[in-house]
Structure 1
């Protein structure tokens, strides 16, 4: 039995040494070749360490300190709170929605950043003492800032350079679903938003100074509003079509 244990120890130590040797050789093996010149994983790691090592370390230390402080003070956000913040970000920012649609792995990074931001916010406010009267006074001063905003959920279609604006607008007025329209008019349209739904938002009860925004909020079900391509014009877009989401 004693001899068997000794043999097991020898095998384990031998395996450990072999893994270390193989790891070292693997890191030195070329993973990229440029004009016959090999670049190893070790070369890549060393380059990244020189270029961004200190910044990465500082970021990791900052994150660790925030997480430790949040845990110590009992202000860690729940998964539900992080998910709610993430969903709101996707709902109100079409660029975020598009990013996670194209790169699904970006969702985890977004949630991690939001979790850290929520912890920082809670740590910042945890020692701030306010009375009920002060809360009422602040709310009465700027109610629209604290109330849930007015929202208009729409299908927002960017008509690209090869698209027929009149035809696509007609299809939207006939309630053609965005997924169907995208399939039929491939490379002619692009719908923005989360799962084809783009949300316009403005302060509760207030009239927007943006004329287009007021036109969107004045839309009737089934009606389609045509807007100029504005920021999408540089991408060759012809128009932006907006329909209230049913």
Structure 2
């Protein structure tokens, strides 16, 4: 793996990542992107992506975002990536929207000589029931609408590892968008942790993606997840930028 910087800027990478993880409904607001669908599964599929100019004054854009999500029965949420979103962040903060912790977007350049996974990794185009059962969102089972979001992309891969008894104990999702692999939904069962399975999942998806023409890889890690950050640093990933969400106050 190399340490070369990504050829995409913050807005370009976020818009590419949005194509690989999307709900069932999108609507532009200038250069911003309003996203919903999938039964409330993940903030990325249910937030306004604030990149570039919304085409209207920021205070008005805050109101438009709030109304759009309220009309759909969703708590209004906005994703604010990198330094380019500072002015928008200030506008949402002034309206009382609550800030989440930082999420780091990490990237790495791929090559044809990536070491293979240590564990046996099965890769399929669609998630089966075992994959969906093993996956977790913030430690909880996936909601009913998760499968619609997970499969809503052109070229997906669902990686899994089984234990000696044949039970799926680790899963991850890959999506190939242009020449970029996005890795998401990495889950390792508690009893199988610290055995290198997250590394094997990453290697397995990278091998799949390189065969499909990928040259770069990105993923997102919550800032407080020090173990995952250390893992991906060992695998050659470097920080591209950070983002955070703001959510409209309740009530």
TM category (shorter chain) comes to under 0.3
Whichever structure has more strand as a proportion of its residues is: 2
Query: TM (normalized to structure 1)?
Result: 0.22
Highest Rg: 1 or 2? 1
Whichever structure has more helix as a proportion of its residues is: 1
Query: TM (normalized to structure 2)?
Result: 0.21
Greater RCO, 1 or 2 (C-alpha within 8 Å, sep 6+)? 2
